[in-house]
Copies of this chain bind each other. A is one copy, B any other.
Amino acid sequence: MFGKTYPKQAKTRMFFVYYIAVYFTCINKSNMNLNNYLKEKRKLVDSFLKKYISAKKRRKDCPKHLAEAMGYALTAGGKRVRPILAIASYEAAGGTAESILPVASSIELIHTYSLIHDDLPAMDNDDLRRNKPTTHRAFGEAEAILAGDALLTDAFNIISEADAKPTLLLKVINELSYGSGPEGMVGGQSMDILLEGKKADKKRLLYIHTHKTGALIRASIRIGAIMANASPAKLEALTDYGEKIGLAFQVTDDILDVTGTMEEMGKPTGSDNSKGKNTYPSIFGLDESRKIAKKLVNDSLKALNGFGKKAGPLEEIAKYILARRN
């Protein structure tokens, strides 16, 4: 019996080994592609932002120390997730020209301003961000507030000078201001601060997460689609994708604050808990939070049905959210 089964077992084993090898090659290949994609797009965005800050430092009308503070925060090693999402959404919706780059990069100015202000002593009171002193620790509180204000204002200045149809640019400004304003990101941060140290119910926790982080990610995806002049159906599908990954991104952020190391995260972990922040793990537990994140990512992938290969990067980014370590 063993004699007879050995060859079968060997076959099964060989098939299994082959299957695993192919699986990991695919995974690896896919990751390699995503890594290349992220690297390439990040380089584009970084290059735009570097030029922007260099020009700012050269301009007589912008005080040197203000430009320094803005540049310090903007080039602190951000992953450029939001601009890359805008570019990937733009490509998924059929966009081909280069005009998306200034518009996509302007979203990073908004994201960076929000980090500067969120880190302030009156808000989250953080000393470290991406393994470096936060802007107010490096430049003082007043300069940090102003650097944030300047980046926020300049985001709209950049869009107003982009080379694209005025009607599209106005829609982009509408989308970005809505997603980052009192009905979006600022609203989420406001509610988060208000409920710090108090137990939020699930509805309010959902409000905080979909607004504090989700709204700007949703806006990034929509901005890409708008710039590509996407059909209403495509815009809706991409919005659905954006909402799902926006929430998934914040849920995994909450999870990483519990499970990640300081080295991986570039800031002390466990800080949500010590600050009495309302998070998915604190309300749903760690296992349930992981399940929720997984379901959100799966749902986001479903929203991309019908986009074909062009949505490849968006698919990979969604999967990456679950796998990320920082």
Q: Is A94 close to B, CB under 8 A?
A: no
Within 8 A of B (CB), among A45-85: 56, 59, 61-63, 65-67, 70
A187 & B123 in contact (Cβ 8 Å cutoff): no
User: Which residue of chain B has its CB nearest to the CB of A62?
Assistant: B182
- Judge whether B194 and A181 touch: CB under 8 Å: no
B157 and A190 within 8 A (CB):
no
A194 and B63 CA atoms in complex are apart in Å by 10
Chain A residues touching B, range: 35 or more
Name the distance in Å between A30's Cβ and chain B's nearest Cβ. Answer: 37
Per the bound structure, the CA–CA distance linking A263 and B80 in Å amounts to 51
Question: Which B residues lie within 8 Å of A298 (CB)?
Answer: none
Chain A 124-152: CB-based contact to B (< 8 A → 1; otherwise 0): 00000000000000001111011011101
Residue numbers in B under 8 Å from A156 (CB-CB): 156, 173, 177
| Chain A positions 156-190 with a Cβ under 8 Å from a chain B Cβ | 156-157, 159-161, 166-167, 169-171, 173-174, 177-178, 180-184, 186-187, 189-190
Residues of A within 8 A of B (CB): 56, 59, 61-63, 65-67, 70, 113, 117, 120, 122-123, 140-143, 145-146, 148-150, 152-154, 156-157, 159-161, 166-167, 169-171, 173-174, 177-178, 180-184, 186-187, 189-191, 193-194, 211
A-B contact pairs, 16 of them (CB 8 A): A56-B182, A61-B183, A61-B184, A62-B183, A65-B194, A113-B149, A120-B145, A122-B145, A146-B186, A146-B193, A150-B187, A157-B174, A160-B173, A166-B166, A166-B167, A173-B173
